[in-house]
Amino acid sequence: MTGDKITLDHGAGGGLSHELITGVVATTLGAVYVGQMEDSATVPVTTGRIAVTTDSFVVDPVFFGNGDIGKVAVAGTVNDLAVSGARPMYLTLAMIIEEGFPIADLVRILTSVRDTARAAGVSIVAGDTKVVHRGQADGIYLNTTGVGVFEPGTPDLNSRSLKPGDRVIVTGHLGDHSVHLLSLREGLGFEKRVLSDCAPLNHVVADVLAACGNGVHCVRDVTRGGLGTVLNELASASTVDLCVDAEALPVRHETKMAAEMLGVDVIYLANEGVLCVVADEASVSTAVEVLRGHPETAHTAVVGTVSAGGGHVRMRDANGRTSPVDLLYGAQLPRLC
Amino acid sequence: MTGDKITLDHGAGGGLSHELITGVVATTLGAVYVGQMEDSATVPVTTGRIAVTTDSFVVDPVFFGNGDIGKVAVAGTVNDLAVSGARPMYLTLAMIIEEGFPIADLVRILTSVRDTARAAGVSIVAGDTKVVHRGQADGIYLNTTGVGVFEPGTPDLNSRSLKPGDRVIVTGHLGDHSVHLLSLREGLGFEKRVLSDCAPLNHVVADVLAACGNGVHCVRDVTRGGLGTVLNELASASTVDLCVDAEALPVRHETKMAAEMLGVDVIYLANEGVLCVVADEASVSTAVEVLRGHPETAHTAVVGTVSAGGGHVRMRDANGRTSPVDLLYGAQLPRLC
């Protein structure tokens, strides 16, 4: 019998591993899992150009108010594919589980994986389960690696494509994911009022690209390192300057309070369901309209402008004064994704 | 400065993460790394059918006599693709690193990743680095996920294809990887005489398939769970019986001694560079000849036969008596791969 807690034997590749994988993992994932239980999965691709991305997730806490590590993993990997312009198709799911982890919790996480994969329209094609001794992991770590395809005519989205005159769009409240998790972890008391924004955004990205075509120059998801890091990477890769308007940034009141309590800057807080979209002047209003039409990106705002320059990012405050937004050097907040 | 030990800041997505990735990871991987430092890598595929596989590696010890976790990861993933008949092309590399892990050790591991990828002819296309607190991992865990392509005319290799009359081939000494690592871990004293067999075998598989075509029905790599597990999976998936000849199994004298000391059965010991090949009668001698021509598979032996039946595996001893080889239920030996 599988029992109610993960044991080292569950990861040993024998009959008990087999029971866990067929009886718990495959059963819970249901139709979303199309693996063939061979060493590799064989799957079709419709075009000659694919996107590949990988991410490990060490989220603390594993369960939070409106999601868990399984949702974060699938949404994060789907979004990494989507922002490249690819259509996410296949995900792999590898788990490193600490001995003693409750199987009921595993089922809960796998249920989130299933639901999020279903919402995004992707399949889980291959998996792996390793079990480590107590004290050699913190509950469970996931790795999801994704494969997407580029349909013919997909615009070439990348960090090097920003042009002077482009506008910078942000699709939701900055820092919600960070504030929700930190609030749970540090007891700040905001976790009921600020939920995680974690969501797969591939359908949103597809709609924006369909509406604006080559008018969209770049899409990035705002995760670890926050908008501040994304903007610095874009400015540097495209050798342009960016200026964002502090007043225009969509930020919740509670997030500002939490950031103050923690002594961190909102611009570096992580999201798991917010995009930074850079579009040319002619496409901005269409992009904003499409984005505001989706519930996940209803709070979309135009926040900044691209100008000729050497890769600097600045923020303009309510009085018109600008100050630099530097690339954060170290961690502000580890283990949020 | 990056310093000489991994800190939480190295995993936070800011400037220090960037320094680690560009200054240490990308520099060490060299030409093998073709990632674009975007959220996804964009890569071409030449056919409409791809193979995908994922594996996390929690090897203990991380470094061993003739290899390390980096070599095991790349070889393991390459082999999982190769045994499906695919040509391995792209790997992702995700690392979960414990705070305090020496950067010199990381460089050593990445050097192995590079050398093994180069030997196999695959590229690393995307990566991810997470850092967890001390006591939340055991040094370093890797995940490698692989993508391969099926060239037109590739035989359909899978576990369900075994036919009565087929022969079972094993390409090297059983258990070398297990015995080497256990010897280091438990102080058995065999680690100098029995080295790990860890190696990428994609070129070997390609040569056998080129020589034998559809005469090869199935290829599996013998890893976690050992030959005993592979044989049970094949017998069950194909609904045939398998009988292996104990005397024919390639096993080192030291391995027999180590297995006896540990109270484990050699048939369940893990390899990282040994294949189980099932071929029809007409192709056996060609397959063996091709395999013996490669140094990694020089000790290839024909060890058993497939017959009509209900999925049972038996072993015949020197006296002609047979006994069942059951599917191992729990772990014998955790954390070898």
* B2, two tokens: 């990056």
- Averaged pLDDT, A243-247: 97
Asked if residue B334 belongs to a domain, the reply is no
- Averaged pLDDT, B260-279: 94
Q: How far apart are CA B266 and CA B199, in angstroms?
A: 20
Nearest Cα of chain A lies from the Cα of B289 at a distance, in angstroms, of 25
Q: How far apart are CA A303 and CA A249, in angstroms?
A: 6
Is the pLDDT score of B1 beyond 60? no
Distances (CA, A) of B176 to B66, B77, B199: 12, 19, 12
Q: Is A128 on the interface with B (CB under 8 A)?
A: yes
- pLDDT, chain B, mean: 93
**Helix A69-82 / helix A202-212 crossing angle, nearest 10 deg:** 20
* CA torsion through residues B1, B5, B8, B12, sign: positive
Starting at the edge strand found earlier in the chain, the sheet holding B123-132 runs A41-44, B49-57, B140-149, B87-98, B123-132
Mutate to test the interface with B, among A21, A43, A54 (most CBs of B within 10 A): A54
φ, ψ (nearest 5 deg) of residue B332: -95, -45
Mutate to test the interface with B, among A17, A42, A83, A217 (most CBs of B within 10 A): A42
CA-nearest of B39, B7, B242 to A205 is B39
Is the pLDDT score of A11 beyond 60? yes
Contact A38 B131 (CB under 8 A): no
Q: Which of A172-181, B186-195, B309-318 has the lowest mean pLDDT?
A: B186-195
Q: How far apart are CA A237 and CA A231, in angstroms?
A: 10
Which chain A residue's Cα is nearest to B224?
A13
Asked if residue B157 belongs to a domain, the reply is no
Contact A132 B138 (CB under 8 A): yes
A140 and A49 both lie in a single domain: yes
Is the pLDDT score of A43 beyond 90? no
Q: Is B302 on the interface with A (CB under 8 A)?
A: no
β-pair type (B41-44, A49-57): antiparallel
Q: Which of A7-11, A227-231, B143-147, B195-199 has the lowest mean pLDDT?
A: A7-11
| Cβ-Cβ contacts under 8 Å, B137 against chain A | 136-137
Q: Is B45 on the interface with A (CB under 8 A)?
A: yes
Read off the CATH number of the domain in which A68 is found: 3.30.1330.10
A120 and A33 both lie in a single domain: yes
Cis peptide leading into residue A164 (ω within 30°): no
A190 and A115 both lie in a single domain: no
pTM: 0.95
CA-nearest of A107, A185, A96 to A136 is A96
Compute the radius of gyration of chain A from its Cα atoms: 21
Task: Give the pLDDT band of residue A330 (cuts 50, 70, 90).
Answer: low
Contact B328 A15 (CB under 8 A): yes
In this predicted model, what pLDDT tens digit does every residue of A143-193 receive, in sequence order?
Answer: 999 999 999 888 889 999 999 999 999 999 999 999 999 999 988 889 999
Q: Which of residues 173-212 of B touch A (CB under 8 A)?
A: none
Adjacent-strand bridge partners of B51: A42, B148
Task: Give the pLDDT band of residue B42 (cuts 50, 70, 90).
Answer: confident
Residue of A58, A84, A329 with shortest CB distance to B14: A329
Which chain B residue's Cα is nearest to A130?
B56
B141 and B12 both lie in a single domain: yes
CA-nearest of A260, A301, A253 to A277 is A301
Q: Is B55 on the interface with A (CB under 8 A)?
A: yes
B119 and B247 both lie in a single domain: no
CA-nearest of B129, B93, B138, B295 to B207 is B295
Contact B128 A335 (CB under 8 A): no
Q: Could you please report the per-residue DSSP string of A100-149? A: T-BHHHHHHHHHHHHHHHHHHT-EEEEEEEEEE-TTSSSSEEEEEEEEEE
Q: How far apart are CA A90 and CA A124, in angstroms?
A: 6
Contact B58 A130 (CB under 8 A): yes
β-pair type (B49-57, A41-44): antiparallel
Read off the CATH number of the domain in which B269 is found: 3.90.650.10
Domain end call among B123, B149, B175? B149
Contact A52 B58 (CB under 8 A): no
A308 and A171 both lie in a single domain: yes
Is the pLDDT score of A13 beyond 80? no
Q: Is B134 on the interface with A (CB under 8 A)?
A: no
Contact B96 A93 (CB under 8 A): no
What ipTM was estimated for this complex? 0.94
Q: What is the pLDDT of residue B256?
A: 94
Residue B239: left (phi > 0), alpha (psi -120 to 50), or beta? left
Distances (CA, A) of A252 to A68, A191, A197, A243, A249: 22, 13, 12, 21, 10
Contact B136 A137 (CB under 8 A): yes
Task: Give the pLDDT band of residue B332 (cuts 50, 70, 90).
Answer: low
Asked if residue A318 belongs to a domain, the reply is yes
Is the pLDDT score of B330 beyond 80? no
B138 and B177 both lie in a single domain: no
A238 and A286 both lie in a single domain: yes
- Tally of domains within chain A: 2
φ, ψ (nearest 5 deg) of residue B277: -115, 130
Asked if residue B330 belongs to a domain, the reply is no
Q: How far apart are CA B101 and CA B99, in angstroms?
A: 6
Residue of B14, B84, B224 with shortest CB distance to A13: B224
Q: Is B34 on the interface with A (CB under 8 A)?
A: no
Q: Is A135 on the interface with B (CB under 8 A)?
A: yes
Q: How far apart are CA B294 and CA B288, in angstroms?
A: 10
Nearest Cα of chain A lies from the Cα of B261 at a distance, in angstroms, of 20
Asked if residue B335 belongs to a domain, the reply is no
Domain limits at A289?
A: 167-324
| Cβ-Cβ contacts under 8 Å, A148 against chain B | 40
Domain end call among A149, A179, A212? A149
Q: What is the pLDDT of residue B2?
A: 60
Asked if residue A2 belongs to a domain, the reply is no
Asked if residue A232 belongs to a domain, the reply is yes
In this predicted model, what pLDDT tens digit does every residue of A79-131 receive, in sequence order?
Answer: 999 999 999 999 999 999 999 999 999 999 999 999 999 999 999 999 999 99
In this predicted model, what pLDDT tens digit does every residue of B160-187 receive, in sequence order?
Answer: 999 999 999 999 999 999 999 999 998 8
Q: What is the pLDDT of residue A231?
A: 97
DSSP assignment letter at B101 = -
A320 and A205 both lie in a single domain: yes
A133 and A183 both lie in a single domain: no
Asked if residue B329 belongs to a domain, the reply is no
- Count how many pairs of residues, chain A against chain B, have C-beta atoms within 8 Å: 265
Distances (CA, A) of A30 to A35, A74, B102, B252: 11, 16, 42, 44
Q: Which of A41-45, B50-54, B111-115, B128-132 has the lowest mean pLDDT?
A: A41-45
Residue of B8, B58, B141 with shortest CB distance to A331: B8
Residue of A56, A93, A221 with shortest CB distance to B94: A56
Is the pLDDT score of A15 beyond 90? no
B299 and B174 both lie in a single domain: yes
Domain end call among A149, A175, A200? A149
In this predicted model, what pLDDT tens digit does every residue of B218-230 receive, in sequence order?
Answer: 999 999 889 999 9
Contacts of B258 (CB under 8 A, 6+ apart): B175, B179, B182, B183, B188, B190, B194
**Residue with tokens 């050992």, as numbered in its chain:** B226
B139 and B201 both lie in a single domain: no
Query: HSE-up of B225 (CA within 13 Å, CB side)?
Result: 25
Q: How far apart are CA B109 and CA B97, in angstroms?
A: 12
Angle (CA) B299 B219 B304, round 5°: 60
